[in-house]
Amino acid sequence: MENQLTGRNQMKLLLRNMESYEGDAIEIVNQMMGSAMFADNKSIREYMDMIMKNAKVHHNLELNIHGDTDEDLARCLVFQIVEHSMGILMDENGNGESK
């Protein structure tokens, strides 16, 4: 299944803090969870809740993360990261693709 955000399954997300993650949306979110503090024993849905709360408290951002499956939630999170200029998607040549 192609990623609805980018039209491709695999992508590279580069965050403003210069952390980068590669894979499909669910792989990217799992990598983000692995490097996040306090996310060790959380499910993807619990991690999404934590992300939304932190965005509101620390950045005054309302993230609209929704979906029926973990894959939908992951795609939505990647989209919201790009939409709110917290990161960019890199193409195969290392060029950034923003919203």
pLDDT the model gives residue 3: 44
Q: What is the dihedral of CA 93, 26, 83, 17, to 10 degrees?
A: -70
Mean pLDDT value of segment 77-89 = 92
Residue at 73 is within a domain: yes
3-state secondary structure of 25: helix
Residue at 82 is within a domain: yes
Residue at 37 is within a domain: yes
The token pair at 90 is 């890199």
Please state the domain count of the chain: 1
Q: Nearest-CA neighbor of 45 among 59, 58, 22, 26?
A: 26
The model carries a pTM of 0.80
Q: How far is 25 from 59, CA to CA, in rounded Å?
A: 23
Domain of 75 in residue numbering reads as 11-91
Residue at 80 is within a domain: yes
Alpha-helical segments (H) within 1-99: 25-35, 44-59, 70-83
- 12-16, 48-52, 69-73, 92-96: which range is least confident on average? 92-96
Residue at 43 is within a domain: yes
pLDDT the model gives residue 93: 73
Longest dimension (CA), the chain: 36
Q: How far is 88 from 99, CA to CA, in rounded Å?
A: 8
